[in-house]
Amino acid sequence: MDDTIKLSVINMTKLYSNGDGVKNVDLDVHTGELVTLLGPSGCGKTTILRTIGGFIDLTDGDITIDGKSIIALPPEKRPTSMVFQSYNLWPHMTVHDNLEFGLKLRKIPKEIREQKIAEGLSLVKMNGFEKKYPGQMSGGQQQRIAIARSLILEPEVLLLDEPFSALDAKIRMEMREELRKIQTDLNITVIFVTHDQEEAMMLSDRIVVMSKGHIEQQGTPRQIYDHPVSRFVAGFIGEMNFLDDGNGKQLAVRPEHIQVTKGKDGILTGTVRTVMMLGHYMEMTLDTDKGLVKVYINSDQADQFEKGDQVALNFDHTYSYNKE
Amino acid sequence: MKKPKSNWKTTLFIIGALTPAMLVSLGLVVYPMINQVIRSFKDPKTGAFTFDNYIYLFTNKLSSNAIWYTVVVSVLTVLLSIGIAYLLAMYLRFSNSKISKTIGNLYLIPRFIPSLVAVYAMKTIIADSGLLNRISLHFNENSVFYNYKPGMLYNIKGILFMNCWFNIPFATMIIVAALAGISESVVESAQDVGAGKALIFFKIILPLSYKDVLIAATFVFMSNISSFTTPYLIGPNFPSMLGVYLRKQFGNSKYEIAAATSVVIFVLCSISAIVYLYTNMKEQAWEEN
């Protein structure tokens, strides 16, 4: 990753006929950076991605790559490449032909094509699959090929539209790690769309949190997690307890920032409702007079608490937001 | 999945369940068919075995013309209606405009209109003294539109026009279903790697849908080989189509010639049935799992 700006979305607006869409979005992506657009469905993240790819026309604003506007170009002329959620590959073509199609269109000579196909396959660890058809492979394998197909075209910006969301949890985790590795090894610029905050935290150099068609906050995963600027971001990223503070404000506190002790000596008191073992830590839910509160405690403390115990809560760190 | 063990009880049940259907098709389809085939080889007077009925069919001017005319009309109907249906289906599948949605809701209506009604209705419009002609009479006498006569009745144009009317909705229905099976991202990813519209059609859409197109074509072909209503009402007397010719032979009590005609129709249909079965059964490598 370096400081040069690869892609700029400048004051972009896209409105659909039903009034949905995104408004006045500004976004700079640096060369070699992996930026995640994160938000619930309908927040406009896919709209931004598809507009960059050329599949949607924007209503207003501009998009530039290396300083040049690309909005007048159709998708086939843009220096971007996109990996879709699923059904990416052409089902009637072998893996080899899927990879070759785009290279052929670029009039790349046969030997170089073959060389690139081999490179692409080894990049995603799919050597030996040249003759397979998409229908003969698992979902994860298909997405690997789809990523390889995009990578060998050496796009200026790689666009990924929830590429792993149809895969099962274990494969999804592996794919994230591999994608991150390939991305840093090749120093490619990637925009990744997801609704999964854990995925965004794992993958990104920078997360752009979106809600209802605008950017709520952008920053490194750390910044977003430690300093959520709004009630929405606080609730969307990680676990957060919201407690009414009176006078229209809400106190927010993360489960790991709560100290629990037996007795009544704390800011808040309550009783233990459930204790759940989650590996190296425990999750406890407490009934307090301000509602249910979720707390993480170390496993070694687990024996101290039982369902029905009277406990006191103290907070290490809190946030305050206006009530939504 | 493991195959369930079948014992004599299940076998008996399967035979029992299939028997009524078997009997009905044996009695109403297979028996008359064999009967007709036998009859087509019989001399009408002596009842002896002969090829004369077929020799007559293929040498007599009326009947041999009917055969090739039927084939020509059917092939042209297939080409026209499948071609138009493919374009229409593509439009319905890939356009989101209001017009496309309206057509999508309307295009099947002709399927629900009885053919006899449809042909008579169309006749009132395209006859040389029909609706189009009446409208044209309101133009200025010097205008090229004045007294326009479509000239579409009792010739091949009329039959083809009517056949399109019947077959386009049907073919479109099948092709739309095939195109609906091609997901958006399959098309978009082709666009994404740099393919233009023509290339996407020939390299992606056509290979993924030609099988259903071929199936639609065989259905259209088969139904037109033996069609009767349209050629009878708006087709020419000479050459006539096989359906009309067949009826004439019945009317003249030439049952053996009629039987031979039926066999010819059946053979023509079989060709297309073979194409249908072949396309349906031939699984391509990419469809195997």
pLDDT, tens digit, 9 for 90 and up, residues A175-232: 999 999 999 999 999 999 999 999 999 999 999 999 999 999 999 999 999 999 999 9
Rg (CA), chain B: 24
DSSP characters over A251-281 = EEE-GGGEEEEESS-SSEEEEEEEEEE-SSE
With CB atoms and an 8 Å threshold, state whether A102 touches B289.
no
Task: Spell out the per-residue pLDDT of chain A, length 324, in tens.
Answer: 778 999 999 999 999 988 889 999 999 999 999 999 999 998 999 999 999 999 999 999 999 999 999 999 999 999 999 999 887 899 999 999 999 999 999 999 999 999 999 999 999 999 999 999 999 999 999 999 999 999 999 999 999 999 999 888 898 999 999 999 999 999 999 999 999 999 999 999 999 999 999 999 999 999 999 999 999 999 999 999 998 877 888 899 999 999 988 888 888 889 999 988 888 888 999 999 888 999 998 888 778 888 888 899 999 999 999 876
Token pair recorded at residue B218 = 């065989």
B171: enclosing H helix or E strand? helix B156-180
Q: What is the pLDDT of residue A267?
A: 87
Smallest CA–CA distance, residue B285 to chain A, in Å, is 8
Which CATH fold topology does A5-232 show?
Rossmann fold (3.40.50)
Q: What is the pLDDT of residue B156?
A: 93
Which B residues 110-129 touch A at CB under 8 Å? none
With CB atoms and an 8 Å threshold, state whether A105 touches B192.
no
With CB atoms and an 8 Å threshold, state whether B193 touches A85.
no
pLDDT, tens digit, 9 for 90 and up, residues B109-122: 988 999 999 999 99
Smallest CA–CA distance, residue A92 to chain B, in Å, is 5
Cβ neighbours of residue A65 closer than 8 Å, sequence gap 6 or more = A6, A7, A78, A79, A80, A156, A157
DSSP characters over A220-256 = -HHHHHH---SHHHHHHSS--EEEE-STTEEEEE-GG
With CB atoms and an 8 Å threshold, state whether A105 touches B207.
no
Q: What is the pLDDT of residue A236?
A: 92
pLDDT, tens digit, 9 for 90 and up, residues B191-231: 999 999 999 999 999 999 999 999 999 999 999 999 999 99
Smallest CA–CA distance, residue A156 to chain B, in Å, is 13
Using the predicted structure, report yes or no on whether residue B6 has a pLDDT greater than 70. no
Query: In this predicted complex, what is the ipTM?
Result: 0.82
Q: What is the pLDDT of residue B231?
A: 93
- Give the C-alpha separation, A198 to A91, whole Å: 31
Token pair recorded at residue A86 = 């699923």
Q: What is the pLDDT of residue A231?
A: 92
Q: What are phi and psi of A239, to 5 degrees?
A: -90, 140
Which B residues 258-287 touch A at CB under 8 Å? 284-287
Q: What are phi and psi of B77, to 5 degrees?
A: -60, -45
What is the pLDDT of chain B when averaged over all its residues? 91
* Section B96-101 average pLDDT: 92
pTM of the model: 0.82
Contact with chain A for residue B203, Cβ under 8 A? yes
Q: What is the pLDDT of residue B289?
A: 54
C-alpha dihedral over A132, A133, A136, A142, to 10 degrees? 100
- Residue B2 or residue A147, greater confidence: A147
With CB atoms and an 8 Å threshold, state whether A88 touches B186.
yes
Query: How many C-beta atoms surround the C-beta of residue A96 within 10 A?
Result: 18
Smallest CA–CA distance, residue B187 to chain A, in Å, is 9
Polymer length of chain A:
324
Q: What is the pLDDT of residue A96?
A: 96
pLDDT, tens digit, 9 for 90 and up, residues B143-195: 888 988 988 899 999 999 999 999 999 999 999 999 999 999 999 999 999 99
Query: How many C-beta atoms surround the C-beta of residue B147 within 10 A?
Result: 11
- Of A81, A86, A92, which has the smallest distance from its Cβ to B193's Cβ? A81
- Of B194, B195, B286, which has the smallest distance from its Cβ to A92's Cβ? B286
Going through chain A in order, the beta strands assigned E by DSSP cover 5-15, 21-30, 34-38, 60-65, 68-69, 80-83, 157-161, 189-194, 206-211, 214-219, 241-244, 249-253, 258-262, 268-277, 281-288, 291-298, 310-315, 319-322
Closest alpha carbon to A159 in A5, A1, A3, A7 = A7
Residue of B nearest to A106 (CA): B194
Contact (CB, 8 A) for A9 and A63? yes
Specify the amino acid at residue B115.
S
Contact with chain A for residue B192, Cβ under 8 A? yes
pLDDT, tens digit, 9 for 90 and up, residues B39-72: 999 999 998 999 999 999 999 999 999 999 999 9
Which CATH fold topology does A240-322 show?
OB fold (Dihydrolipoamide Acetyltransferase, E2P) (2.40.50)
End-to-end Cα separation, chain B, in angstroms: 15
- Give the C-alpha separation, A88 to A150, whole Å: 11
Sign of CA dihedral B168, B169, B174, B175: positive
Q: What is the pLDDT of residue B288?
A: 66
Smallest CA–CA distance, residue B88 to chain A, in Å, is 23
User: Residue A193: beta bridge partners?
Assistant: A37, A161
Q: What is the pLDDT of residue A308?
A: 87
